[in-house]
Structure formats: C-alpha cells, structure tokens
Structure 1
Amino acid sequence: MGRVSAADEVLDVVDRDDRVTGRAPRGEVYAGGLLHRCVFVQARDARGRVFVHRRTASKLVFPSAYDMFVGGVVGAGESYAEAALREAEEELGVAGLAQPVPLFKFLYEGPGGAWWSYVHEVRCELPVRPQESEVAWHTWLSEEELAGRVADGEWEWVPDGLEAYRRLRAHRESRQ
C-alpha cells in the first residue's frame, strides 16, 4: 500500500468553538478554507536554546519559510496531545521524547487561512535528525538570538508560527 499524500490525509473540520463538525481530506480543507486543528511545539535543547528551521520548498503551506516551532495538523480523531508528540518526534527525528507540555490554544486567522492552534513546549536532549521532507535547514538559537532574528526581518517566518511566538512571549511575561 502506498503512502497517503499530505493532501489526502483526513482531518477533523471544526467550528469557531473548536467542536468537530465533520471530516475532509487536507487538500479540501485548505482549498475550502475550512477550520481545522494544528499543534505548535517549541523544542528546547539542554541549554534552553530553541530549535529553529527552514521548511522545505515542497510544503503545502508556507514553503521555504522559517519557523521556531515544529508541529502540524491534527489528524482525524487524534487529540492535540497525541499530535504534539507525533509531530515533534517526526520533525525532530527522535524517538522517546517526553510528552510536550500544553500551554494555550488560540484561533489563528491570517495568511494561509484559519485554524485552531495549540501551543506546547518540550525539552529535547536527544540528538536530532530532522525529517528531510519537512526540514531543509535547522539550528538551535538562544532566546535572545531568536528575538533578534524575528526583529531584524531578514528571514521570512511562517505567519502562524510568528503569531504563536508573539502569544507565547506574552503568555510567559504574564506569568512572571
């Protein structure tokens, strides 16, 4: 049996209250601008640096853009927690990662469409072997280096990740 293409992967379609209203292939979800679910996982190494990468040119949304999260769509019937662990292990190329910690959820509405976005964090002290189909380039940046890269505007960041990053910074500041 051949591998299902990304466009054929079935996703839960949800409403503005994040309640499942149906299911559809990812290609139809994107083409129709249907609300669905995504996970964002900020991975940090033993020194607290953030995993940053450039997406491959073959990605369905935001090809070749930079991101400070790993993650992706939540499959049909899958929980946010299950998707966060699956996506983090797949994209980082590791096994045995701790369960990512859920932080907050928000409805992203912007370039690319709209989707419920659940932000998580995880510490990854394992050697990473990023998934070649997802990650074209990667590095670990300190919080200060990452903030500088975002501020200088030289890198094109994925807009949903940038929104999640801004909300994560505000979330952390509000808890201090």
Structure 2
Amino acid sequence: MSDGSQGSSSPSDEILDIVDLHDKVIGRSPRGEAYARGLRHRCVFIQARDAQGRIFVHRRTATKLVFPSLYDMFVGGVVGAGESYDDAALREAEEELGVNGLPRPVPLFRFLYEAPADPELGGVRQSWWSAVYEVPCLVPVRPQAEEVAWYDFLPQAEVDERLGTWEWVPDGLAAYERLRAHRG
C-alpha cells in the first residue's frame, strides 16, 4: 500500500480521519500517532486486473511502515483526512501501479478490519475501515520502486495456489477472502 503522504515530510506525518465503529469521522490524527495509539482510520484496497483477467500481485519493499516484505494482491493505502474512499482508490491505484488515466475503480464493499496486536506497531491492536474496489489496468505498469520490490500479473488459480505458500499482508488476505465470498 502507498504511504499516501501527499507531500508531507514522512508517511507518519500524514493526517488521517479517525473514525468510529460506524465509519463516522470523530477526529483527525497524524498517521504515526494513529498507529501508535490504535486509532481507527480508513483504507482502500484495489484489485487491478490486466486484459487477460490476471490479478496484479506484488511484494512490498522492506522499508514499508506496515507489513514490510509481504505479498499483496491489492494496491491501496490509507485515506487522507477529508479524502473520499473513491478519490483515495483512484489516487492509490495510479500511484502504486505507476500509471495515469485509469478508469475510476469500482466500489464493491466495505468491512471493518481488526488486526491482532502487532509488535512492529508497538503491540497496539489496529483497526481500519476497508473499502474494496476493482479496476481494469490495460496499460503497462511502472510500480514505485520504493513501494514494490517485485510484481507480476498472475492468474486467479495461481494466486489461490500461493495463498498457503507465500506470506501475505493480513489485511489484504482478509479483503481477498471477503472478495471471493462476495463474488460467490
């Protein structure tokens, strides 16, 4: 996922909307503080598929703030303060894929992700509202080197085969399972 820094000095300085259990904004906080205190915020997950219907899969760089070096079958990231889910989905998809002019990602559903306490995030239990989207990507991708260590478009069957062998980001895996159930 992108850091969504939008010009701030570091990803941890980005300002996020803090939301309640019903996804209503109740405040704002810098990203680093939101993580340190386990403040609920918003994220977007976008599944990008090429012209053959293959899924964009990537391994995050080791320098990522959250879930470094893990695989993901979504692009996405945090929703900035005052930003809509839809705007964040398009911004994040274009940033992470390194493309311009994508169609607007299609919203599919939202869910509340509640992570187990993570020692890398100070042992604080994390929670975020997650909006899942899909978008066709019919142009060559140029993922950000600081975000993506490896990538490829993989057939659905291969992604499913890799679920038990690759280490996936837990929130992306939760979104993927919900997406498969959503599609029946």
Aligned equivalent of 1:26: 31
Q: Distance in 2 between matches of 1:55 and 1:3?
A: 21
1:64-112 deviations in Å (ceiling 9; x for gaps): 0000000000000000000000000000000000000000000001245
Matches of 1:93 and 1:4 in 2, distance apart?
21
Cα distance, 1:4 vs structure 2: 1.9
TM-score normalised by the chain length of structure 2: 0.91
Query: What SS is found at the alignment partner of 1:83?
Result: helix
Indicate if the aligned counterparts of 2:45 and 2:131 stay in contact, CA closer than 8 A.
Answer: yes
Q: How does the TM-score come out when normalised to structure 1? A: 0.95
**For structure 1, which segment, 105-114 or 122-131, has the greater mean C-alpha deviation from structure 2 after superposition?**
105-114
**Structure 2: which amino acid aligns with 1:162?**
L
- Cα offsets for 1:16-53 (capped at 9, x unmatched): 00000010000000000000000000000000000000
Match of 1:163 in 2: 174
**Runs ≥4 residues deviating over 6 A:** none
**What secondary structure does 2:28 align onto?**
strand
Separation of aligned partners in 1, 2:14 and 2:62:
19
Runs (5+) with no aligned partner, structure 2? 1-6, 119-125
Aligned pairs (5 A) from 1:1-176: 3-111=8-116, 112=118, 113-150=126-163, 153-173=164-184
What's the CA shift string for 1:105-127, capped at 9, x where partnerless?
A: 00001245110000000000010
| Equivalent position amino acid for 1:37 in 2 | R
Amino acid across the alignment from 2:183: R
Letter in 2 for 1:132: A
Kept in 1: contact 2:8–2:14 (CA 8 A):
no
Indicate the RMSD between aligned Cα atoms, in angstroms. 0.9
| One-letter amino acid of the counterpart of residue 169, structure 2 | V
Code of the residue aligned with 2:127 in structure 1: it is A
Structure 1: gaps (5+ residues): none
- The alignment of Structure 1 onto Structure 2 pairs a total of residues equal to 170
Whole-angstrom distance in 1 between the partners of 2:24 and 2:148: 31
Q: Is the CA contact (8 Å cut-off) linking 2:57 and 2:151 kept in structure 1?
A: yes
